[in-house]
Amino acid sequence: MARETDNLELTKNPATEEDLEDLALGEDYALNPEYVPMVADALDAGDSERLRDLLSALRPEDVADLMGFLSAKDREELVPHLDPETLGDVLSELDTEIREDVLAHLPSATLAKALEEMDSDDAADVVDDLEDDKRAQVLAAMPEVERAAIETTLAYAEESAGRLMQREVVAAPQFWTVGQTIDHLRRESDELPELFFDVYVVDPSYKPVGAAPVSHLLRSRRDVPLAQIMEQVTEIPVDMDQEEVAYIFNKYNLISAPVVEPGGRLVGQITVDDIVGVIQEESEEDILALAGVSDAGRDATMFGIVRSRLLWLVLNLATEAVAVGAIAFYQDEIAKIVALAVLMPIVSSVGGNAGTQTLAVAVRALASRELNASNALRIFWRELGAGFVNGLIVAIAMGAAVTVFFHNWRLALTVGLALVANIFIAAAGGILVPLALEKMGRDPAVSSAIFITFLTDSMGFFAVLAIAAMILL
């Protein structure tokens, strides 16, 4: 009997479907690059049947992935082939730029239907991307309850727990038993969130006092009181920043957590699948910020890219101009010993890299809360020590090479001393600058790199020339 039900769910031609799935996705479930032109060809040929077959091998997440590889025109033609539920799931998975583009071409009525199928947090996320006019149209086309849920979510600050949370939660009073809870869940099945992992146990004022994991409910006898199987809850304030929420989930290995208002009342829940996205996003932001890229999705236009990178390049140009001021100041020395011009950039470059190393470690440690006031001093001394040792080793190597090539031990000494000084200063700056920015409430990933580059470039030039002026000329 169960077997028949199972078979009914398969299509008439399972072999072909499985073949298509193997063609669509690699063993690691990444989209095969060859599948993209196949879909594009079906779209260009207007072959709806072929397209339906190709799409049937994909889950909504794969369709979202596919759309990232299609041209804007193909994407627009693909959307009408998706049913409202799939469209909703696809929309919540799309990259921002692509989503904005798709939304701009989507009829308000179609979008309203898709939004009804989504969880309130995902729906709000999509509505937030709409232009004002369209937003009003779409919200007007939605049923009262769903519209209110979306509007409430959008009232919370961007990147706050209130935006991340689902308003749909399962709560039970603390005097219920396992049996009462299960009966309630069966009765209210239609009203429950699609998936949930904890039943929050609440007191009469709706404050969470514990969480009963669903696996504990399933394995316990019906007469066991909830209070006996519930575990400690980790409450998330509704206005907490998403980066802090992600830290808490990661630290305590949480699957879900209740979100509470300032008074302590339960208003929603955050589940770990939303947090995985946040962690990915935040660490990508750090990588890009350290490299001086303000933001760039896969579908940015060429001018979007230009914009996202130009600021850093211009700042870099300006700080370099100041740094080379040191060189201009010592032009006479360079004219006398051209080798200085050859060797200075090495000192700057190696110092810059030493600074970047310390900076990356410090930014990472600050983000994971592994660096704070209680160990900052110890880590600072350790970095200084390591910077000094590394500086010494690299300086000896460079000094030896300079002695061999230029037959001038004073020049070797000049460059070696400058290198030790620059790597030492790079280590100090690499740890102090992000600590100071964090203390000032700024994101240390965003602005540290420009300081460090400036510091090590100017020190590189200045140290070589100043030491040369003292011992070489």
Q: According to CB under 8 A, which residues from 66 to 95 bind a second copy?
A: 68-69, 95
291 binds a second copy (CB under 8 A): yes
343 binds a second copy (CB under 8 A): yes
**Nearer CB in complex with a second copy: 35/124:** 35
31 binds a second copy (CB under 8 A): yes
Number of residues that bind a second copy (CB under 8 A): 146
Among 152, 320, 410, 443, binds a second copy (CB under 8 A): 320
**Nearer CB in complex with a second copy: 107/179:** 179
Among 305, 400, 470, 473, binds a second copy (CB under 8 A): 305
**Nearer CB in complex with a second copy: 124/236:** 236
Among 270, 275, 418, 466, binds a second copy (CB under 8 A): 275
180 binds a second copy (CB under 8 A): no
Among 54, 82, 266, 365, binds a second copy (CB under 8 A): 365
Among 12, 15, 317, 441, binds a second copy (CB under 8 A): 317
**Nearer CB in complex with a second copy: 148/192:** 192
401 binds a second copy (CB under 8 A): yes
Whether 143 contacts 189, CB under 8 Å: no
For the segment 370-399, give every residue that binds a second copy (CB under 8 A): 370-375, 379, 382-383, 385-386, 389-390, 393-394, 397-398
Q: Are strands 198-202 and 208-213 parallel, antiparallel or unpaired?
A: antiparallel
For the segment 195-234, give every residue that binds a second copy (CB under 8 A): 195-197, 209-210, 213-215, 217-221, 225-228, 232, 234
Length of the chain: 473
C-alpha pair distances (Å), 299 with each of 36, 87, 91:
16, 19, 15
